[in-house]
Amino acid sequence: MSTILQIHDLAPMITHPIFLRVRYAETDRMGYVYYGNYATYFEVARVETLRTVGITYKSLEDSGILLPVVDFRMRYFAPAHYDDEIRITCAIPEIPSARIRFQYQTHRGETLLNEGETDLAFVDASTGKPMRCPATLKETFEKLFSEN
């Protein structure tokens, strides 16, 4: 059963908003943003959230760490349309271990459009096997969470 994510009620956590304008090609025949496009929107939000805390996907991959999505959940409340400016707030609600969780809320103005959550696993690029969050990365998150 899906539950409503309460990003604004959880603390401490790391949060970051991004703003996107819906392009015509991202809508379906009904004029709504096609549901699959939210996976891409969430990826943009996730990458930019990590970047704001000094972690880039490129640096992770260059150091032999991959982050595949292993779980994706979403709940819709209202549609976004062509040319809408939407705000996606991405949150990292906890210090990662073998997985890192991201939570998302998409708004058009004050209207909540949807909520989602992804879990990504840390994977050793050389073996393709799951691994724990690297110690240096975990220390970075521990420091960030203690500051919030």
DSSP-assigned beta bridge partners for residue 129: 124
Confidence of residue 11 (pLDDT cuts 50, 70, 90): low
Confidence of residue 148 (pLDDT cuts 50, 70, 90): low
Query: What pTM was estimated for this model as a whole?
Result: 0.89
Nearest-angstrom CA–CA distance, 93 and 101: 7
> Could you give the number of structural domains in the chain?
1
Within a domain: 1 = no
Within a domain: 44 = yes
Nearest-angstrom CA–CA distance, 130 and 148: 29
Within a domain: 12 = yes
Confidence of residue 100 (pLDDT cuts 50, 70, 90): very high
Within a domain: 61 = yes
| Domain at 93, CATH number | 3.10.129.10
Within a domain: 86 = yes
Q: Is the pLDDT reported for residue 146 higher than 90?
A: no
Tell me how many degrees the CA angle 41-45-51 measures, rounded to the nearest 5: 145
pLDDT at 89: 96
pLDDT of 61-77, one tens digit each?
A: 999 999 999 999 999 99
Within a domain: 2 = no
- Residue 129 is part of which domain span? 7-147
Within a domain: 30 = yes
Task: Name the strands in the sheet holding 99-108, side by side, starting at the edge strand that comes first in the sequence.
Answer: 14-21, 85-92, 99-108, 111-121, 69-76
For 52-66, what is the mean pLDDT?
93
Which class for 76: exposed (0-12), middle (13-18), buried (19 or more C-beta within 10 A)?
middle
Rg for the chain, CA atoms, rounded: 16
Within a domain: 141 = yes
